Structure 1
Amino acid sequence: MSSDAGMAIFDTRFHNPSIFSVRATANARDVLDFCVPANPYFPPPALVDRIQAGLADTLKYYPDYAPVHQENISRLIGLPVENIVVANGVTEIITQLCLAAEAPLLTDVPTFGRWTDLPLQYGMPIHFLERRKENGFRLTVEEIVAKVKSTQARTFILCNPSNPTGACSSEADIARLLDELSHLALVVIDESFIDFAATPSAERLVLRHDNAMVVKSMGKSLGWHGMRLGYGVAHTALAERVRARLPYWNINGLAGQVLRDLQDFHEEYRASFPKVAADRRYMQERLGEISTLVVYPSEANFILVELPAGVSGKALRNDLLQRHAIFVRECSNKVGGSEALLRLVVRKRPDVDRLVAALKDVLATA
């Protein structure tokens, strides 16, 4: 196994390098990406063709106004326009929520890096509730409420399903949690991967609470991260306050075109998620063939695995990229994460077979 502890492009504390940097480093266009969690069954070719056909107008003219985007999201999720906040990627909402949040904050870890890094960057007091591997990285309502009380948190953030663990709280637990934490200034449920789970969204639940908000990235579900599109759902007054903090023209023309055209591809969109779930089951079975790996349950479109003791996740990542042109996510730059943990995106079965063969090869030399 390579002794290189980490190529220069991976020396970042916030995220991973772009696929463009990774391709250049590997000197290959056909890098197999098990890092970026994009839906492999969407968009369909017909939607891509429509986007390309309208590209000249999309680039030439100003995009729609914010209320038009809210209406398009409203039709997609079946909730009132006044409860919707549309954003240039979910990180735009996350940034504004962190800037306005009452401290101290509390979030589960490991989690999406923006929820941990932004409060630290702004010098805001933040506490972490660790997901323990011996519990399959699952949290109970009782654990969360006890930690809120012990830290005197005023803002609580939960990723559901969790990123990178894939653990997911039930709809009943989220409902209980919102009731138990109704005294807080803000409760945020980040549901960026909920479409891939069997658990229903909490979007309707948060409408009953004036201190709660669901936020969601759409890039994962649409299979288009570069489009930069996300949204939030909240009680009317809270939604209005968040919208007031965002630029009026914050959605670019391409994202706006996708939102308009998505209405005609709603059936294909919904049908894509059970296909990902089937591939996830297959991938869990195949990874389970590697006896030295610990494969954790997941309800997202990725699977968390733990490497054998003594194996460097960074060196394994580099070997997979350099020897097999496979790009994976190791989790050492996440608060509460570890170099021993890899988050592997669910892909179609031939790609999974290639990954498993490469992992067996690289681990054999560890």
Structure 2
Amino acid sequence: MIRVLLVEDSATMRGHLRESLAADPELHVVGEATDGGQAVEMVGRLRPDVVTMDMMLPTMSGLVATEHIMAEHPTPILVVSSADRQELFSTYNALAAGAVDVLEKPRGDDSDADWGRRLRSAVRLVSRIRVITHPRARLDRRRPAGMAPPPPAPAAPLPTAGTLRLVAVGASTGGPRALTDLLCSLPAGFRPPVLCVQHIAASEPFAEAFSDWLAGQTGRDISYARDWTPVEALAGRVVLAPPDRHLLVRDGVLRLSDEPPRYSCRPSVDVLFESVATELGAFAAGCLLTGMGRDGADGLLKMRTHGGVTFAQDEASCVVYGMPREAALLGAAAYVLPPARIAARLAELHPAGSRR
């Protein structure tokens, strides 16, 4: 039995959630909250397996409620959000604060036909994720006031500095937070383009809001990839794979592809990593961040065998230690580190002012 707490101020939407979940006898609604404060109290009292969280709530917003829940009673949270731009920005803030996935609310069109099935599938998926206390809350509780953070572990030797031409990054569940940490930790003068595949809701409003949100969080030039863009023109920029299109590098330009999904994923991290391995070899770095499944592990191994420097996110900092774990088991990752320390190693490979 999977015990679910519904957090939604609309009685109509709560009824829709309740009825949709009732179609699966193993999904049991244990409570319904209509504002964020009530949600935090009920999570502490009922200890559900999953919380479905609306963002726009009275008294206490869904974002603030998410932050409290992840700091006090870590619970897998599925954000059920509309495509309104303000709500989408709150949704990505909630994902950065520890929520693990997002499902768009019904649109009122033909796409709603299988919405209930998608909700049930998402709840089941989220229920299997082992969440941790929100990192900031954990640090605040365990580190006495005034105590400096522990020094980083000694760095393993890296290839010759100044040789890095491109960074390829893959992420899935938990990716918004990990990407933010990595990009914020890169120095302002970091010039190699960063190509990124983030598994995310495929609808256009969700995708557009994600690129804008990530740019606002990191202060970097972030956009979606355009077919036939020369890689040389992307210095200092972060480029995302568009929704439902593979992103790859071929003959010095970005290419977008509608080829079949890999491991049910389009865009696929493997497709990006494999193309970068073939195209750039030892002049590229690959970073595989938090996510469920194994997309990216084979591609990261190919990057390493072609001479590229490869990183996987460490288990302690992952929301889901799935994709990075598969890479580590394959021996694909030369370095296993949290995102901020991956960024520090990348900066060592391309110090400010270095040239090809």
Shorter-chain TM-score tier: 0.3 to 0.5
| Larger strand fraction of residues | 2
| Larger helix fraction of residues | 1
Higher normalized contact order (CA 8 Å, seq sep 6+, divided by chain length):
1
Q: TM-score, normalised by structure 1?
A: 0.32
